Amino acid sequence: MSTGLAVGVGSLIVGVIAILILIFTSFRSLEVNEIGLNYSGITKSVDRDLYTSGIHFLGVGHSFIKYPTTVQTYEFSKGKGSDAPSVRSRTKDGLEVELEISFQYLYMSLELYDLYMQYGGLEKLPCMKIAIDILTDVATQYKASQFFFDKEKITFAMQKAVNKTFAQYCFATVDYFQLKSIDLPDKYEIAIQETEVMRQDIHKAEAEKAKMQIELETTILQAQIASNININKAEANGQSFYKIQYQQAASLKTIKDALGLSNPDLLDYLRAKILREYPEDKMIIGMA
């Protein structure tokens, strides 16, 4: 009798504990940065409904398939902790190129059911392979020189391509993209750097020369305009030739400086100019 009672109480306690465990395990929680799908371990089925952070009563045998709501990263580089090595490809002109790339993506919450149906929660590896494929392919569309001079354009094209493919196959958007390093054969890199330095030097020298030329021409032009005005003014006022010469002195000094003439040179220049330009009947040669 007492043994029977003991067995009865024992099974009651076991039963109560079992029920408590069942109830307890029917509650499932999601962290702040998680979003979940209701999964039944008994029927192996998933609901389309989404659950956000907090504690939810899902029912016996149910649990959450969890996805992050924060941006996720893929990194392909030589660095430690990267998901895969650098992306190796060939340029349009056939050179080997090695690219260090990272990008950030965000799962489209409304498509999580489809994502789960597609990959059963194991999307990380297949999506990485898809990304590497696309990046390798985009790299072949650009010449080696473009990797030097058009990096932004290539970065943009790569992001656009991965974003498009991810929307279709990985139910995610690629919001940030970094083309961190570009490694071309050393021989090519040295050659192109030398060419570029030379190109810049030539460009600089040409710009300098053009600037000097313009300055010189402007100075001469200003001086000529000034002297003509002075002659005209002086003639109108009936001033003497000497006075005109005196007024011209200032502008002539500018010409002298601009052309780098010595004093005797300037006098020669002036004589020639006067003989050439001044009406003969008004001329008095009065210069030593």
List residues binding ligand NAG (CB under 6 A). Answer: 38, 40, 45, 47, 56-59, 62, 159-160, 163, 167, 173
Give the nearer residue to ligand NAG in terms of CB position, either 49 or 186.
Answer: 49
Give the nearer residue to ligand NAG in terms of CB position, either 90 or 153.
Answer: 153
In the complex, minimum distance from the CB of residue 189 to ligand NAG, in angstroms, rounded to a whole number: 30
In the complex, minimum distance from the CB of residue 164 to ligand NAG, in angstroms, rounded to a whole number: 7
In the complex, minimum distance from the CB of residue 79 to ligand NAG, in angstroms, rounded to a whole number: 24
In the complex, minimum distance from the CB of residue 47 to ligand NAG, in angstroms, rounded to a whole number: 5
In the complex, minimum distance from the CB of residue 218 to ligand NAG, in angstroms, rounded to a whole number: 49
Give the nearer residue to ligand NAG in terms of CB position, either 97 or 135.
Answer: 135
Give the nearer residue to ligand NAG in terms of CB position, either 58 or 134.
Answer: 58
In the complex, minimum distance from the CB of residue 27 to ligand NAG, in angstroms, rounded to a whole number: 10
Nearest to 224 by CA among 192, 191, 258, 179: 258
Give the nearer residue to ligand NAG in terms of CB position, either 97 or 134.
Answer: 134
Give the nearer residue to ligand NAG in terms of CB position, either 141 or 155.
Answer: 155
